[in-house]
Structure 1
Amino acid sequence: MPAGGFLSGLGYLGEGFRLIRQPGLRLFVVIPLVLNILLFGIFFLFLAEIFGAMIAAAMGWLPDWAWLQSLDWLFWILYGVVILLMLAYGFVIVANLIGSPFYGYLSELTEKHLTGQVVVSDGGWAQIIRDIPRSLWREVQKIAYYLPRALGLLILGLIPVVNLVAAVLWFGFNSWMMALQYVDYPADNHRLSFPGLKQRLRRNRPAALGFGLPIALASMVPVLNLVVVPAAVCGATAYWVREAEASATP
């Protein structure tokens, strides 16, 4: 099946939400969901303080120009968007570190549901335990890819006027990272390296951005961000089956 474009990518998160309701997949949705609820409560309390401090500090850097001071409400919104995007993916990073072994197996079961073929082996809980070191290493690679780029964008986002562009760049970067984050699960099941995954997604970047955009937006919404992770894993697996494998060759 030929790979689609940006609009094609947009539909996979919705398909993921439909897939997580399948009886054979529910258990591996519920367990990490409970972990995410506990994590989100701690994460929200901790970051609420940091959010307020960063906004106050950034606003204090504004020069005493009348036209800038009259636009302080706009800068509040822009700073809020930039930091919220940063925190949204920060939550995803921590949640996926905890749930990565479950999500790898959820992706495998989803692909079996979609194609009727066993991806690796039907090892059940024993396979989940064996895959923990490899799953955690994949998450570390994604964090190492994300952090320096996020830091650069964060610095841009804290500069008045420049943050007009930084907010747009953050949306694009977060969309790309969400695609990398979740398509990595089926890619790992097929033993495709993380550098290989980046190359594969770049061959159809519009579809990857289309897939990642609604996940990035959903990750910014409290409560919804708790259930979007397993849905994104299932949607990413459908994306892998129909889009990523179609880009296996240039």
Structure 2
Amino acid sequence: MLRDFIIGLGYVVRGLRLIGQPGLRRYVILPLSINIAVFTAAIYWLVRTLDAAMQRYIPQWLSWLEWLLWPLLAVGFAVAVFYTFSLIANLIAAPFTGLLAERVEQRLGGRPPSAEASLWGNLRSALLAVRVQAAALLYMLIWSIPLLLLGFVPALGIVLAPLWLVLSAWMLALGYLATPTGNHDFDFRRNRRLAAEHRALALGLGTGITALTIVPVLNFLALPAGTAAAAALWTERLSKQTNLRRSADN
């Protein structure tokens, strides 16, 4: 299990390398631009929200504590906010990330959907990608509710951050894997089942993408790099095991 987790984590580094390769860079421009816009909005909203919270809830005579609370609150909120905005960016950019995933799969010798597909076929794939990403976002919101409620229990506060990190890794894995699997007509339920069957690989991938989303500058690359990483993981491991299972069933 640990070995698979490390392998999944390593695919994020692979994704960063892939998006810099000639022939793939042009497919990175639109997802990168969308991600920069979304994360710029996320950073602005996070700073404004934390500053307003400090002004409202910290008494004037305790204002000297702000220098200590700022980094602590920023890290905690950043994990929740950035991975939420990452899924939103995935939703907005779904038609373009699908094309990037297809080209990565083609580059790695996989069998992507035909480049000669009809206009209706391309439109159908784009609509499916948006639907799958919307389902992933809804799934994340549902699972976030219990963790938000736990935040009101002081004794459980110490375990809240690790739980958010695990949820973040899992949700980002589902969101990013949905792009290459969606190219092959996987709906969200089927995509989630595939990730559950390879949980350690998926959590490794999601953990790496989570790290990208909270590291300044690198978070702008999270969407294209995460898409390329998920496409590489699908092409080299998950799709082959899925095909083997189908052959065994037949």
- Superposition TM-score tier, normalisation by shorter sequence: 0.7 to 0.9
Normalising by structure 2, report the TM-score.
0.82
SS of equivalent residue, structure 2 residue 28? helix
| Percent of aligned pairs sharing the same letter | 33
Residues 1-250 of structure 1: pairs in structure 2 closer than 5 A: 5-53=4-52, 79-115=73-109, 117-123=110-116, 126=119, 129-248=123-242, 249=245
Whether the aligned pair in 1 keeps the contact of 2:125 and 2:183 (CA below 8 Å) is: no
Identify unmatched segments of 5+ residues in structure 1. 61-71
3-state SS of paired residue (1:191): coil
Cα–Cα, structure 1 residues 58 and 139, in superposed 2: closer, same or farther, change >3 Å? farther
Q: Is the 8 A contact 1:180 1:197 kept in 2?
A: yes
Alignment-mate amino acid for residue 18 of structure 1: R
- TM superposition shift of 1:137: 0.9
Listed one character per residue, the Cα deviations across residues 66-120 of structure 1 (whole Å, up to 9, x for unaligned) are xxxxxx99987664433211101122022112211010111011000001x5411
Count of paired positions: 237
CA deviations over 1:39-81 (Å, ceiling 9, x no partner): 3333322232223445777889xxxxxxxxxxx9998766443
Alpha-carbon distance change, 223 to 200 in structure 1, aligned in 2, over 3 angstroms: same
Do 2:14 and 2:229's aligned partners in 1 also have CA atoms closer than 8 Å? yes
Q: TM-score, normalised by structure 1?
A: 0.82
**Alpha-carbon shift at residue 236 of structure 1 (Å):** 0.6
- Gap regions ≥5 residues in structure 2: 60-65
CA distance in 1, matches of 2:178, 2:27: 17
Question: Where is the helix percentage greater, Structure 1 or Structure 2?
Answer: 2
Aligned to 1:63: none
Aligned residue identity for 2:41:
I
CA contact (8 A) 1:19 1:231 kept: yes
Aligned Cα RMSD in Å?
2.9
Note closer, same or farther for the CA distance 1:110–1:147 as it changes in structure 2 (3 Å cut): same
